[in-house]
Structures are given as C-alpha cells and as structure tokens.
Structure 1
Amino acid sequence: MPIKFMAALFTGLFVISHSVIAEECSSRSENSVSIMDCFSARYKAADQELNVIYSEAMKALSSDGKKKLKESQEAWLNYRDASLELITEVNRKTGSTGNFIIEDYRATLVKKRASELKYILSGPNAGPAEW
C-alpha cells in the first residue's frame, strides 16, 4: 500500500477520531441521557472512522486483497454481533449501569477494529500493534 495513501488516511482520521472519541463519557457527572448520548457519539465517530478505512482500502487493494478484506470484515461483523449479544445478556438486569457498559463496549469494539485495520493496511510500515 502506498505510503502517501496511508499518510493521507491517518491525517484525515486523526481529526475525525479525536474530535469526539477523546471525550470520556463515563467521567461525566451529568444525567444518564447525557452519558448515553456521549457513548452514542463515540460509537458514531468510531463507525465513521472504520467505514473510511474500509472504503479507502477497497479502492487501493488488489482484487485478491479486496476479497480477503471483505471476508475478514464479514467475519468481524459476526464476531461483533455475537459479542454484543453476550455483553447484553450479561448486563441484562443491571439497569443504566449495564447500558453504559454495553454502549462503551460497542464503541470500543468498533474503535479497536479500526485500529486493527490501520495496522494491517500499514504493511511493512506498521509499528507495534496497539489495541
């Protein structure tokens, strides 16, 4: 993958991800609705970042690379859904605290996938994995 592509991608994603995701939702002293809105914003920002990474990679990869990325993403989506079902079941009777845990996990799970794809797509320029 060309270095220019990755540099442009990371620069654009830095602005997107740090504008909302840097906000710490759980440390807010506001009401439950405000905290849930914060978690929702974190999820939306992470999802947007993931979609940008995926779209840009699909434009740049070979046809074999595109096929493997698509298969990998489909497998991850199944993992994501199963993980969310599990954490929802575990926290089913814990009230708003459980809802906070679930929403935080949802945003963190998507952010982690974005980090994984950035790492994978960095090729030989990848440093140590961070997630």
Structure 2
Amino acid sequence: MARGRVGKTVGSLGDYLREQRVQARLSLRQLAEQAGVSNPYLSQIERGLRKPSAEVLQQIAKALRISAEQLYIRAGIISPEEGVGGSVELAVLADPGLTERQKQSLLDVYASFLAQNAPGPGEAHPTGHDTEGADHG
C-alpha cells in the first residue's frame, strides 16, 4: 500500500484539499481567508503547483476542521508507514517554541539522519562511527 512517489503526493494533496473544502461548503476565497493565505496561493496548492509548508498546512487544517496529520502525510512531510516513528515529526511540527524555518530545518536534518542510517543495497556502514558520543563513565 506504500506509494513512494513524491510528485504524486503534491497532486493528491491538492485533490484532497479541494475535496475537503467542497465538503465543508467553503469557496476557495473563504478557505484562503480563514487559513490566512492568499487566494492565488491556495489555488496553486489545490492544483499541485505549490508545496505548502507545515505551518500553512496546519492553518488550512484548522480552517477545514480536519487533522493536520492527514495533510502532513499527503504532503509527504511524514510517512504513514512510520507509525509511532512519525511522532518525532509531529512533535517538531506541533512545537510552538520553534519558528517555521527551524521546524523545517529540524525535519530536514532528521530525514537526512534516517536516510544516512538506512542500509543501502550492497553498502556497509563505516566502522567506528556508530559509537561516537557513547557514555564514558
């Protein structure tokens, strides 16, 4: 059931948002106003031309009264396969003490660590580096 297509995620996000907006009986303009984004920007998101930040997705989710987590999954910010592991991303996204830029930076670093630690086909991890920072006392 896993779909690893990033390009398709943005398109399905737009389709999903449009569907939710129609079900909520909101015009594009009304949703844009409630979410605090411009009408053209929201239109571009729905058409799959723009990938919104986690902050914008949270505002849209609030305006639509739906789960922000669903939007994060559809936008490819978190993976549904991660299950409990997705809680790291959700915790970062939900932290009010971080700016949007800081949240995105943390998510990027976290994703790069996960990718770095994932064994590649036919690749071996360098020896000795996995024990850095071990408790010495």
TM-score when normalising by structure 2 = 0.29
Rg larger in 1 or in 2? 2
Q: Which has the higher helix share?
A: 1
Q: Report which structure shows greater RCO (CA 8 Å, sep ≥6).
A: 1
TM-score when normalising by structure 1 = 0.30
